[in-house]
Amino acid sequence: MSSKTRLSFAHPPARPGEQPDFSSLEIPKAGALAVPPLDVAATDCVDHANSLIRVLNDAGEPVGPWADYLGNPDADTLRTGLADMMTSRIIDTRMLNAQRQGKMSFYIQQIGEEAIGCAFRRALKPGDMNFATYRQQSLLIAGDYPLEKLLGQIYSNAYDPLLGRQLPTLHSAREHGFFTISGNLGTQYVHAVGWAMANALTGKENLAVGWIGDGSTASNDFHTGLLSASSYWPPVILNVVNNQWAISTYTGVARGHGRTYAARALGYGLPALRVDGNDYLAVMAVTKWATERVRGGHGPVLIEWYTYRVGAHSSSDDPSAYRPKDEAKAWPLGDPIERLKQHLILRGDWSEERHVQAEARILAEVVDVQKRVEAAGTLLDPQPIPGASIFKGVYADTPEHIRRQRQEMGV
């Protein structure tokens, strides 16, 4: 007699050697969803959490209520966004090549996800703080973080502002709104919520922004962050970058039998939106809405950015072991750089020729920075850091009154 009890396992659309298949994905037409009021409650976000907010249609035209809400961004704003994404991708390509050449120990790319961080960062204000993962370099690039410092930390040499005290891809740039990355996935949520609570208690107007991937939603900190945000209603935006794959695990494992990650927030009473993360204008529009909501005192919000991780999880990963090699080409929501490029061309504000020229200019700038950084040494040939500075920035300076007290006590 066979048992009726059994286990169920989530399976990806295709395995190596099989034809990529995304036919089961439900991709609504662009412009189908309305813009909710800034003070919307979770109970009125069911459609927004389960469907997909899109602005650009297949022809590259902005359509629907979210396009109207965004307005008509000027050409320079969109060209800046395109340059941010191109810079990110060129850096990713060159850094992975450098890692393969043995010039660094480790690297993590974000190819295919550039629109999310680049568009989001441009909407933030000085003093806002991102609690990011290792796949949000775009926040630094769009935040005009010096490339020498960005690359210097990857090479862990004299250009590294952290003096080699952090892993190569775990950046820290407080002055650029980028909190030190924790290698423990999921902690970004509790850190972001706690920072936002402290801001509210001290009367500051800045936002906290938490970032995790779809795999990290399986961590306890994800749920702790949602519960705390729901209980205390701090000024925080919580982002889930759903790029379809955790380290080598299909997103369905972390999602379980739930429909979307955004929908999970509804159970905690948090409004949530689900967005086409490869649509730069959609990211701009939703980020504008989310920041206006939180700055207006209407409470936190969760956003699921729906995208695809084109490259490997890291330089130590081989995705050909668990997914088809050409799966990225079959992703139905396209490439974020190509989509914004085509939109700008459609507007008459760009051309294929200008794109090639821009790509060459950005490449030359990145190569120039890379050469200067590499000249300072690599992990294989490091420049020594003075021993006297090893504890610099590790401990707070002892206050003067305590130093005097210790002297009086003879300590």
Locate tokens 């009021």: which residue?
Answer: 37
**How many whole angstroms separate alpha carbon 215 and alpha carbon 261?**
10
Q: Does residue 308 surpass a pLDDT of 50?
A: yes
pLDDT tier at 380, thresholds 50, 70, 90: very low
pLDDT at residue 382 tops 60: no
pLDDT at 395 over 70: no
Give the range among 8-12, 267-271, 322-326 with minimum mean pLDDT. Answer: 8-12
By the 10 Å C-beta count (0-12 exposed, 13-18 middle, 19+ buried), 216 is classed as buried
pLDDT at res. 209: 98
Q: Which amino acid is residue 61, in one-letter code? A: E
Q: Is the pLDDT of residue 355 over 90?
A: yes
pLDDT at 165: 80
Q: What pLDDT was estimated at residue 23?
A: 92
Q: Please check the confidence at residue 378 and state whether its pLDDT lies above 90.
A: no
The whole-number average pLDDT for the span 198-203 is: 94
What confidence tier does 158 reach under pLDDT thresholds 50, 70, 90? confident
The confidence band for 388, taking pLDDT boundaries of 50, 70 and 90, is low
pLDDT of residue 9: 86
User: What is the per-residue pLDDT across 72-120, written as a single tens digit (0 to 9) for each?
Assistant: 999 999 999 999 999 999 999 999 999 999 998 899 999 999 999 999 9
Instruction: Name the helix (H) or strand (E) containing 337.
Output: helix 336-347
- pLDDT tier at 367, thresholds 50, 70, 90: very high
Give residue 404's pLDDT: 79
Q: What is the CA radius of gyration of the chain?
A: 22
**What pLDDT, in 10s, does the model give residues 267-303?**
999 999 999 999 999 999 999 999 999 999 999 999 9
pLDDT mean across residues, the chain: 93
Order of strands across the sheet that contains 236-242: 129-131, 208-213, 236-242, 301-306, 272-276
pLDDT confidence tier of residue 248, bands split at 50, 70 and 90: confident
* CA pair distance 328, 111, nearest whole angstrom: 10
